[in-house]
Structure 1
Amino acid sequence: MLEPFGQDLWLASGPVVAVAGFHYPTRMAAIRLDDGTLFIWSPVALSDTLRAAIDALGEVRWLIAPNTLHHLFLAEWQRAYPQATLYAPSDLRKRRKDLSFSDFPARGAAAWSGAIDHVIVNGNRITTEVVFFHTPSRTVLFTDLIQQFDRNSFTGWRSLIAQLDGMTTSEPRVPRKFRYTFFNRRVARAALRQIVIWPADRLVMAHGSPLRNDARNVVRRAFEWLLP
């Protein structure tokens, strides 16, 4: 259920979810900090097997909704781990009034900052996304702003839409629906300039196979349309 991906970092796949007729696989990451506590990124459905594996790693301290779209399973994690603090973009309050969460702190001010950096990417009409970098494993974590699906993931007209959207390219890319909905590119560009200087080797995406090499250059190429 939990697969090691790097130093103190594990990945787990969750169920496929349907959005507007498209089926998306889900993926989460568990990061163990120096004090033994756990940072759970983009939680997937919490099965008994997954919970046992998580509990064997350490105490869940942080639950992370990395953007305003990945929130389907947060309530069950909050019930299971009431001692954990949930962080999410403030825009999520409009959709999930049933959740109790805190806004993300300023960069460098979070309790996890010694091991994990984060940058908030604002300026998009679809979602606000928080991108993370785990220093010990040199892993950058994107949720929806970078994706890559296999060409056989979709059929019929959905396959054509996915191709036109840039979801099934040969390398991870920013889907066109996100590219075209950046209403404030200046703000987004400032955030991305901080992200592309991270010395990332590995790339984790919620929707796409993880990469173990050359992540920094892959991220740069994915955003070359935005960055000079």
Structure 2
Amino acid sequence: MPSAQAAFPKAETYICPGIETKQPQMKFDWILGDKSPTAWEKDMEQVLVRGSRFMSEVAFFHKPSKTLLLVDLIENIGDKTEEVGLGIKLWWKAVFHMWNKPRPAPEYQIGWKDKKAAKHSLERMLAWDFERIILSHGDLIESDAKAAAREAWSAPLSSDA
């Protein structure tokens, strides 16, 4: 972050909740939440994903392009993913059974502490009119995106907690 801030000194820095305690020396302008800042509220919606023991994430929906933007809520690594190391391949195939199957990061899968809160956040995202998903880890999801998300999140969505 410091190098990006140095390269773009007039840009504002928005962070996910929790970063301010993990990185207290980091300078930032805003902590993200469920409400989009005025600067992008016309084009973007967002939700703070709740319920995880290990992670915080803010998911974004870009309305004009009907695109859901995620970090770890879905990872999509498989045969088509370029430059995957042997270690990741082994873990994703043999341990996590995520190879060629879009799923939440393992930290989410083992760390839903409040499934009711998680389910509420995920249902809010599924109510958005998205057609594609851009994610940080793996291949983009460019067809049947809503069905892929629903399947990826089936465990917390099916929870009665």
TM tier relative to shorter chain: 0.7 to 0.9
1:188 maps to amino acid = A
- Contact between 1:139 and 1:202, CA under 8 Å: does it hold in 2? yes
Q: Secondary structure at the match of 2:149?
A: helix
In the alignment, the residues of structure 2 paired with residue 148 and residue 167 of structure 1 have an alpha-carbon distance, to the nearest angstrom, of 8
Structure 2: segments with no counterpart, 5+ residues: none
**Superposed, which structure 2 residues align to 1:24-173 within 5 Å?**
74-101=1-28, 102-151=30-79, 153-155=84-86, 158-163=88-93, 164-168=95-99, 170-173=100-103
Q: For the structure 1 residues 109 and 195, does the alpha-carbon distance in structure 2 shift closer, same or farther, using more than 3 Å as the test?
A: same
Q: Deviations over 1:32-83 (max 9, x none)?
A: xxxxxxxxxxxxxxxxxxxxxxxxxxxxxxxxxxxxxxxxxx2111111121
Number of the residue aligned with 1:216: 146
Q: After TM superposition, give the deviation of residue 105 of structure 1 in Å.
A: 4.5
Q: For the structure 1 residues 128 and 176, does the alpha-carbon distance in structure 2 shift closer, same or farther, using more than 3 Å as the test?
A: same
In the alignment, the residues of structure 2 paired with residue 106 and residue 199 of structure 1 have an alpha-carbon distance, to the nearest angstrom, of 17
In the alignment, the residues of structure 2 paired with residue 127 and residue 159 of structure 1 have an alpha-carbon distance, to the nearest angstrom, of 23
Q: For the structure 1 residues 106 and 178, does the alpha-carbon distance in structure 2 shift closer, same or farther, using more than 3 Å as the test?
A: closer
Structure 1: segments with no counterpart, 5+ residues: 1-73
Which structure dedicates a bigger proportion of its chain to helix? 2
Which structure dedicates a bigger proportion of its chain to strand? 1
Q: Percent identity?
A: 26
Q: For the structure 1 residues 105 and 223, does the alpha-carbon distance in structure 2 shift closer, same or farther, using more than 3 Å as the test?
A: closer
Aligned length: 153
In the alignment, the residues of structure 2 paired with residue 98 and residue 122 of structure 1 have an alpha-carbon distance, to the nearest angstrom, of 25
Number of the residue aligned with 1:193: 123
**Bigger RCO (CA 8 Å, 6+ sep):** 2
In the alignment, the residues of structure 2 paired with residue 100 and residue 120 of structure 1 have an alpha-carbon distance, to the nearest angstrom, of 21
In the alignment, the residues of structure 2 paired with residue 140 and residue 203 of structure 1 have an alpha-carbon distance, to the nearest angstrom, of 5
RMSD: 1.9
In the alignment, the residues of structure 2 paired with residue 198 and residue 188 of structure 1 have an alpha-carbon distance, to the nearest angstrom, of 16
In the alignment, the residues of structure 2 paired with residue 142 and residue 166 of structure 1 have an alpha-carbon distance, to the nearest angstrom, of 20
Q: For the structure 1 residues 109 and 87, does the alpha-carbon distance in structure 2 shift closer, same or farther, using more than 3 Å as the test?
A: closer
Number of the residue aligned with 1:182: 112
Q: After TM superposition, give the deviation of residue 212 of structure 1 in Å.
A: 2.1
Q: TM-score, normalised by structure 1?
A: 0.61
Q: After TM superposition, give the deviation of residue 111 of structure 1 in Å.
A: 2.5
Number of the residue aligned with 2:133: 203
